[in-house]
Structure 1
């Protein structure tokens, strides 16, 4: 069996006879082809399929070898994939961000050959992507383009000169040879051969000269086109900024004349100092249908039953008092260490975000070189640890004996991780490969957490946390795109929550976060999408919808609504609230179906309320109390800990110029190490030898039992190594 708990997610590797995929347009030469057993489903099991791997890292499969080039059944690119193998079963698992494929080789030799070929193809794809990234970073201006064209012309002219020099040497040698042979019959034959050789050489030189002339002519044309494109780009940028300002003014006028009186979400907090224009908001593609439908829009859910429930009439008993739990973060326990209460205030430095981001449209967020001016003094590892600010919800979930009620607390915990995004528009530092972060709050909050940057391609962070009665771990990877006016970030990893004394096991994926008003106006963030939380032991599910902000909706922004269903699909609990305020849960007592479904519920019970803003937080990056404490210096941590990053530390202290220089130095050092590993892998490939991929220090790659994808699990020996101060395995990255 490829995994426990369900079939693997292999959406682009569907074996349906109607599933025909277009072969990749960038297909290279075939590196390896052959039959492998592919997992299809629990009815058909493994089926033999013909797989083709090309030099560009595209891995495609067909029913048989005769379908190659005609009917591709599925494909994925290995650049952002993880490969895991089990020598005992000859299994190969290839896990990408949106799909996984489970394969089985015929024998150990076949498995090793495919593994080597896949790893080599993955390395080549990564190297190609890194080379393109390096080239892009070197060509940010038109002067660079002209320099490249001039370099090409000069190189061609140099080669022509070399050919002419060789021609002169050949003529000289031929003359000397003629004198040496004299006027014999044999010499005459040599003269004839020499004449033919001379004509061929002259033809080659003439053709080369013509090639150079054509290249020079084409490069001049290309230069004119490039100059024209540059001028049009400048004009387009000016027009976009003008339109954005007009859009902002029109939007402000529309809101001022609105009868609803609702304010857009970005007006809730103070203006950021680095934005160089007035307030405004933005639209994005996922909201187009909502805008067209107006205030009468219907909610979209994953199946008809959910849509019926969410459009149902909800009846609660009279006396609408709200039952309140102690939903604030528990007080610090006695004996806890005293932690800092403030950090240096953020310098008031004005800078235009658009001036830096305009050359990065369409790129991955992780590939955009950003100065620390747009960062906050925390790494992504520390930002992930912030998910545990309301970990007391997991403590309370562990106390519940009813799995259906328990999943409500898991859902509240999942929502609470977005509570700070309404005011935090700054960007965390991208972790270096091998960077770690530990946070031991057992003495006051009852949990400890550890994170490590475990992969460079794709960028991935592994996170593991322990409470008294629960374990939480997640792989954080994401896809991100900057589209000019907004930045969209979609996490692709899975979060797992388990309880130590119960069999219940929950998983969920995070939803999309969009940052608006990149060009002009105040930055503001919206979280939107659908999150499904599943209990793999009981089959219960919770569907949470983060409603996208819409200009024309009568609903308040940042709304969250959810439904908890048992394994039979019957609604048992409802969830409602706002991701930046609070969450209430309502138990369904009766469900009646007719022309319209009617749900009778108990009174709502508030299970989570956001903590009040920390005093003076608006001057300290809008940090919460926990966020202020995350980067506090601490002795005894690993030498790879985020708190030891000088660029991040100097930024926190307000030394931004020094921080920017250090950040560039660290990134260049990481780039140098990457190129060294690429060179070593290249040599191994040329010799036909396997090259081991990067291995994390504290996590190991394995197969996820619930989804079948490749994940990183915590080895568990970090805390013991910390006690012994044993850091020999840690790389030198700072």
Structure 2
């Protein structure tokens, strides 16, 4: 949907997929560009100008603002307006003050609905007054913050935190003064505008002849200087037949008036609240690495003595030598499941529900493909509240994950794209059984597809690293996975078969076989897919084993000498990289900033081991501190919600509380990307390492 705004006499638009709609558009003193449906409505999206990439095309009067996850296209009415836009953004980016000579809204822009013109003006006056009152309350809160800071200064060991809070309070005070000054100025503008209309003697019947060209002659005092905030408003929502960047404002035929103050915002496409535009394509030209900085380090054999002492125990609860790790985190491993996300894009285009089920099943199986090259190491355990994000314009998704529980170890993740949503809440365990190590993922995976009512869930079977002590090591997945479409009642069972053949200490000659059988809502077999999760999956056409149609093929590793680099695929190599998309935009809790993992990736095993022990000890101390003070250590971006598809005992009730019989899981709150876009992370977010 192309959305149009007016900055006084400046037009703009945000690219989505449907049409054009007018919005209230505001650039704040702190450089946050935001928009809403009206001056008093909830903000629907925002971009921090300081953290965005801005490009312009003066010939077409276009300005493109890309934050990495959201893309705004601004198209001005005139070349002069284009210069004012770029000057304003340039001033923010350079850190200088803004002095823009700008006219108030033209009569054609602000009063194109004569019936509601007085209401529009009164709303402007009230909005400015409310903004001024909010600025005053912000000043009061700053005083409270200073009082708390004074108390904190007497607490030992809080010097660094106190300095940060002092800097924050100073910044807030500057912002408060700017906002209050702007609010007072805006209130004067609106009041003057209202008085000017009244004194001009014009009535509603004459407004059709009130042209922009003679506005200054009617009320020459309307020109004003703004030093902080530039606001844009148009009262109507419209859908235009055109969607071209070359269309001028008002160009093309008006198709439909969709004004509805009570309706949901147009940003919510097909019922999927994407928390802002998912226009990620412009960031797709970032260059990604094709190998790790260092080949594999650490001696896996030296850790076997630790294994022998902990046979049958959950190794995720035991401090392991770093030589048993690969330079990836469990949160990043969760993202690795999306390597073949294009299968879900395909599923969303299919009209037949059974075909969609088949492709979701293929996607679920594909998550094991990259593990075939692994060398028997385990990922790093995340710290509590550790997060990981991944924005992939080339694949069209954005992903965020967090460690939400320490004991048991639970991670939660959420991904969204134009075609689908995907989320999981899983317990991660690993156990050593004497000759093999088992990797278990307990919990439910969810998929919904845009344009369909389907809700798919599935589970994962265990994987084993065989011949840990002697012989040829290999990874094997065995067990059963069930994928269910809870909307249609259709389901599939996928059998992962154990390998056969081979010697006592060798890898099986025939392994990685899967057979997926699909059932309709009445339980009747109707389709079947066979193949190997490490190679190809094909449908038996008409259930005929002799007639196969290949539906999916695994990618090769994609990097040279992959065995020397932990058996990582190209997609896996890219997971811990900081590209231009992430640089200076990540929260301090992101895995990419974790020093022990970064050192280990760079081949510095001893230094990494020292850092790992320090970080783990720091977490133990903080956990004890919270326990002593009776403070609950809760996740930041996910919260416990009812989950009809989760085991009631997956997240057991609190001690002394009866089991309700209803499952629960940690689910995404929808706030992470908003914080990222604005650059305003929670003030109480603390360092993990």
Give the TM-score normalised by structure 2: 0.53
Q: Distance in 2 between matches of 1:521 and 1:376?
A: 21
The equivalent residue for 1:432 is: 383
Whether the aligned pair in 2 keeps the contact of 1:487 and 1:518 (CA below 8 Å) is: yes
Q: For residues 69-84 of structure 1, what are the structure 2 equivalents within 5 Å?
A: none
The equivalent residue for 1:352 is: 302
Output one character per residue of 1:152-198: Cα deviation in whole Å (capped at 9) or x when no partner.
Answer: xxxxxxxxxxxxxxxxxxxxxxxxxxxxxxxxxxxxxxxxxxxxxxx
Q: Which of 517, 524, 540 pairs up with 1:570? A: 524
Q: Distance in 2 between matches of 1:356 and 1:563?
A: 41
The equivalent residue for 1:560 is: 514
Q: For residues 545-624 of structure 1, what are the structure 2 equivalents within 5 Å?
A: 545-551=495-501, 556-588=510-542, 599-600=543-544, 603-614=547-558, 615-624=560-569
**1:678 Cα offset (Å):** 2.8
**1:501 Cα offset (Å):** 1.4
The equivalent residue for 2:686 is: 731
The equivalent residue for 1:154 is: none
Whether the aligned pair in 1 keeps the contact of 2:316 and 2:429 (CA below 8 Å) is: no
Q: Which of 551, 576, 579 pairs up with 1:631? A: 576
Q: Distance in 1 between matches of 2:536 and 2:603?
A: 34
Does residue 703 of structure 1 match 2:642? yes
Q: Quick one: higher RCO (CA 8 Å, sep 6+), 1 or 2?
A: 1
The equivalent residue for 1:409 is: 359
Q: Secondary structure at the match of 2:521?
A: coil
**1:564 Cα offset (Å):** 0.5
Output one character per residue of 1:414-436: Cα deviation in whole Å (capped at 9) or x when no partner.
Answer: 11110122221221100000000
Does residue 504 of structure 1 match 2:454? yes
Cα 1:360/1:473, change in 2 over 3 Å = same
Q: For residues 308-323 of structure 1, what are the structure 2 equivalents within 5 Å?
A: none
**1:339 Cα offset (Å):** 1.2
Q: Distance in 1 between matches of 2:314 and 2:405?
A: 16
Whether the aligned pair in 1 keeps the contact of 2:298 and 2:324 (CA below 8 Å) is: no
Cα 1:342/1:478, change in 2 over 3 Å = closer
Q: Distance in 2 between matches of 1:619 and 1:354?
A: 21
The equivalent residue for 1:114 is: none
Q: Distance in 1 between matches of 2:292 and 2:384?
A: 27
Q: Distance in 1 between matches of 2:469 and 2:502?
A: 23
Cα 1:510/1:729, change in 2 over 3 Å = farther
The equivalent residue for 2:192 is: none
Cα 1:334/1:381, change in 2 over 3 Å = closer
Q: For residues 235-274 of structure 1, what are the structure 2 equivalents within 5 Å?
A: none
Structure 2 gaps of 5+ residues are: 1-280, 647-661
**1:487 Cα offset (Å):** 1.7
Give the TM-score normalised by structure 1: 0.50
Q: Distance in 2 between matches of 1:560 and 1:342?
A: 31
Cα 1:348/1:711, change in 2 over 3 Å = closer
Q: For residues 466-481 of structure 1, what are the structure 2 equivalents within 5 Å?
A: 466-481=416-431
Q: Distance in 2 between matches of 1:711 and 1:579?
A: 28
Q: Distance in 1 between matches of 2:293 and 2:502?
A: 41
Q: Distance in 2 between matches of 1:678 and 1:609?
A: 50
The equivalent residue for 1:422 is: 372
Q: Which of 324, 328, 337 pairs up with 1:374? A: 324
Cα 1:494/1:657, change in 2 over 3 Å = same
Output one character per residue of 1:531-562: Cα deviation in whole Å (capped at 9) or x when no partner.
Answer: 01000000001000000123489982110001
The equivalent residue for 1:272 is: none
**1:366 Cα offset (Å):** 0.7
Cα 1:468/1:622, change in 2 over 3 Å = same
The equivalent residue for 1:722 is: 676
Q: Which of 404, 410, 420 pairs up with 1:460? A: 410
Whether the aligned pair in 2 keeps the contact of 1:479 and 1:490 (CA below 8 Å) is: yes
**1:349 Cα offset (Å):** 4.7
The equivalent residue for 1:342 is: 291
**1:584 Cα offset (Å):** 0.7
**1:575 Cα offset (Å):** 0.8
Does residue 446 of structure 1 match 2:396? yes
User: Aligned residues, how many?
Assistant: 382
Q: Secondary structure at the match of 2:333?
A: helix
Q: Which moved more, 1:348-357 or 1:695-704?
A: 348-357
Q: Which of 653, 658, 664 pairs up with 2:613? A: 664
Q: Distance in 1 between matches of 2:472 and 2:601?
A: 23
Q: Distance in 1 between matches of 2:502 and 2:284?
A: 52
Structure 1 gaps of 5+ residues are: 1-331, 589-598, 682-691
Q: Which of 640, 649, 657 pairs up with 2:598? A: 649
Output one character per residue of 1:274-329: Cα deviation in whole Å (capped at 9) or x when no partner.
Answer: xxxxxxxxxxxxxxxxxxxxxxxxxxxxxxxxxxxxxxxxxxxxxxxxxxxxxxxx
Q: Secondary structure at the match of 2:597?
A: helix
Q: Distance in 2 between matches of 1:406 and 1:400?
A: 6
The equivalent residue for 1:58 is: none
Q: Distance in 2 between matches of 1:569 and 1:527?
A: 26
Q: Distance in 2 between matches of 1:415 and 1:347?
A: 27
**1:399 Cα offset (Å):** 0.7
Q: Distance in 2 between matches of 1:374 and 1:648?
A: 12
Output one character per residue of 1:443-495: Cα deviation in whole Å (capped at 9) or x when no partner.
Answer: 21111110000011211000100111100000121343322212222211100
Which is greater in Rg? 1
Q: Secondary structure at the match of 1:432?
A: coil
Question: How well do the aligned residues superpose, as a CA RMSD in angstroms?
Answer: 2.1
Q: Which moved more, 1:692-701 or 1:713-722?
A: 692-701
Q: Secondary structure at the match of 1:352?
A: helix
Q: Distance in 2 between matches of 1:334 and 1:674?
A: 39
**1:368 Cα offset (Å):** 2.4
Whether the aligned pair in 2 keeps the contact of 1:448 and 1:467 (CA below 8 Å) is: yes
**1:702 Cα offset (Å):** 0.5
Whether the aligned pair in 1 keeps the contact of 2:596 and 2:608 (CA below 8 Å) is: yes
Q: Distance in 1 between matches of 2:576 and 2:435?
A: 32
**1:576 Cα offset (Å):** 0.4
Q: Distance in 2 between matches of 1:660 and 1:434?
A: 21
Q: Higher helix proportion, which one?
A: 1
Q: Secondary structure at the match of 1:713?
A: strand
Q: Distance in 1 between matches of 2:665 and 2:591?
A: 22
Q: Distance in 1 between matches of 2:348 and 2:467?
A: 41
